[in-house]
Structure 1
Amino acid sequence: MSRQAILLVLAACAALSVAITEEEMHAIIHGLATQCEEVYPITEEDAELLHKHEAPKSPNGVCFLTCMFEKLGIMENGAFNAAHAKAIVQKYTAEQPDIQSKMGELLDICEGEVGSGDEKCGAGMEVFTCFKNHAERLGFMPDA
């Protein structure tokens, strides 16, 4: 399983795949993932789970997600930053009103569902779960 495939899943969950080319996304996500893995190395099991659009099981895997979301601007100080996520969507989907609308709906849903998380990095898991639960219905999850 390639690291690129795992990172593409994360990027799709982070809603950036609609805005930039796959090459650009890979370069951005690879750089961010490298930074996050230095602090929160993920296990092979977590990598496989992420590839299958499933939540990681280890504490480092959960914190890796939170780190990625923070680096992408979707979370800030451990909390979901829906306003910034919406600004990203507005910026990168200005010429794609259908995608912009669907992404806005996803972010609105998750803004209502995501709390602060009960454990270290818990809100990152809540963001991941919300994106996973609703993104497929809205057409944003790639095939595993």
Structure 2
Amino acid sequence: EMTPEFMEIVNKCKTEHEPTEDELKGMMALKVPESANGKCFMGCVLQEIGVVKDGKFDKEEAKKHAASKMTDKDELEKHMQLIEKCSQEVGGETDSCGIGPKLMECIKQFAPEFDIALPQQPSE
């Protein structure tokens, strides 16, 4: 969900990286942006949230972030497993512009495995 704090982060990163409206809409549905701007925008948001530090994915911070958002123990456990998995997948990535797209691909690929519902893709 979009908290005012999160919207502030989004707007700050939008100003810095200028992704297109289409890219922004696409990202809501886990569509990886094509442009460097879009990719760096993702990295910017992840850095502002704190799950990316110095261009690297911070697994512990991601877990804390998930824990602060979820009350359901089972859901949280599934997300912890997904974070664990994706932190291995993006572990070698040290560029914050590359990390966002990689993370998104990983979530799309492995969320169903952990029985995590993803946002619906809007039909074209």
Q: Same fold (TM over 0.5)?
A: yes
Stretches of structure 2 that go unaligned for 5 or more consecutive residues are none
SS where residue 106 of structure 2 aligns? helix
Given the alignment of the two structures, is residue 40 of structure 1 paired with residue 17 of structure 2, yes or no? yes
Given the alignment of the two structures, is residue 126 of structure 1 paired with residue 108 of structure 2, yes or no? no
Question: Residues 119, 101 of structure 1: CA spacing in aligned structure 2 closer, same or farther, 3 A cutoff?
Answer: closer
Question: Residues 64, 136 of structure 1: CA spacing in aligned structure 2 closer, same or farther, 3 A cutoff?
Answer: farther
Question: Residues 120, 98 of structure 1: CA spacing in aligned structure 2 closer, same or farther, 3 A cutoff?
Answer: closer
SS where residue 3 of structure 2 aligns? helix
Q: Tell whether the 8 Å contact from 2:30 to 2:104 is kept in structure 1 after alignment.
A: no
* 1:20-31 to 2 correspondences below 5 Å: 22=1, 25-31=2-8
Q: Tell whether the 8 Å contact from 1:115 to 1:126 is kept in structure 2 after alignment.
A: no
1: distance between equivalents of 2:60 and 2:94?
Answer: 22
What is the Cα deviation at residue 38 of structure 1?
Answer: 1.1
Match of 1:102 among 75, 78, 95: 78
Task: Kindly report the root-mean-square deviation, in angstroms, between the aligned alpha carbons of the 2 structures.
Answer: 2.1
What is the Cα deviation at residue 120 of structure 1?
Answer: 6.1
Q: TM-score, normalized by length of structure 1?
A: 0.72
Provide, for residues 36-79 of structure 1, a one-character-per-residue CA deviation record: whole Å limited to 9, x for no partner: 01110101332343244210000000000001111112111111
Regions of 4+ moved over 4 Å? none
1: distance between equivalents of 2:26 and 2:37?
Answer: 13
* 1:80-91 to 2 correspondences below 5 Å: 80-91=57-68
1: distance between equivalents of 2:109 and 2:46?
Answer: 17
Question: Residues 136, 73 of structure 1: CA spacing in aligned structure 2 closer, same or farther, 3 A cutoff?
Answer: farther
Give the AA of the match of 1:139.
I
2: distance between equivalents of 1:105 and 1:120?
Answer: 22
